[in-house]
Amino acid sequence: MRQGQISTTGHALLGLLSFAGEVSGYELKQLADRTLRFFWVSPAMSQVYSELGTLDRAGLVEAREEAANGPRPARRYRLTPAGEEELRRWLAQSDVGFPVIKHGVALRLFLGHMVSPDRMEEMLQRYTEQLEGRTAELAQIREGLGDDPAYRYAALVAEWGQRYYREEAEAVQVVLEALSRPRT
């Protein structure tokens, strides 16, 4: 029942459970891949399991054992009242750091004096393609949310993400143009 030692990712999983009702570790990971991935990090499968263990020991989630078909039990987890309380407390009190970005493309552009122009252009082009892929994924997710008020906030975040990807694509075009101009 000790707390304060739950990580942000732990709280994020708690948050997913507040939507999801009762899910297995496996399903929780899939949900994270469709949501958290876009604005946080989708934890590895193994971390989902270990985090659920921690949350369970802290009394913040509850496991229900299903008919074990195999050597290990099949568990489904749901939020406990204490878990919901902790989540609300964390949302109300934790301090919100400025976003941290690990942007490999920007890092390599910054070190452009050591990269061949061809490689640089290829990298930026590839990033543009990846952005298109992500935009498409996110558009599909946004569509799936519809205008159901239950997903109001998820929809806002998805729209924010789409905006961001669009802007990134434009910024990359600006960089490509600047690079194609001979330097003064």
Partner DNA sequence: TGTAGCATGTAAGCCGTTACATGATTGA
Partner DNA sequence: TCAATCATGTAACGGCTTACATGCTACA
Contacts with DNA by CB under 7 A lie at 5, 7-10, 24-27, 30, 41-47, 49-50, 53, 69-76
Q: Which is nearer to a second copy, 10 or 75 (CB)?
A: 10
- Pick from a second copy, DNA, none: which does 136 bind, CB < 5 to 8 A by kind? none
Looking from the CA of 45 toward its CB, the CA atoms found within 13 Å total 4
* b/e 72-108 (16+ beta carbons within 10 angstroms → b): eeebbbebbeebeebbeebeeeeeeeeeeeeeebeeb
Q: Which is nearer to DNA, 47 or 162 (CB)?
A: 47
For residue 179, the minimal CB distance to a second copy (Å) is 8
- Pick from a second copy, DNA, none: which does 106 bind, CB < 5 to 8 A by kind? a second copy
Tell me which residues touch a second copy (CB under 8 A): 8, 12, 15, 18, 35-36, 38-41, 84, 87-88, 91-92, 96-116, 119, 123, 126-127, 130, 134, 147, 149-150, 152-154, 156-157, 159-161, 163-164, 167-168, 171, 174-175, 178-179, 183-184
- Pick from DNA, a second copy, none: which does 47 bind, CB < 5 to 8 A by kind? DNA
Tokens of 103: 């942007």
For residue 5, the minimal CB distance to a second copy (Å) is 18
State how far the alpha carbon of 164 is from the alpha carbons of 133, 135, 167, in Å: 13, 9, 5
Euclidean distance between CA atoms 53 and 66, whole angstroms = 16
For residue 42, the minimal CB distance to DNA (Å) is 7
Cα first-last separation, the chain: 64
Q: What DSSP designation does 115 have?
A: S
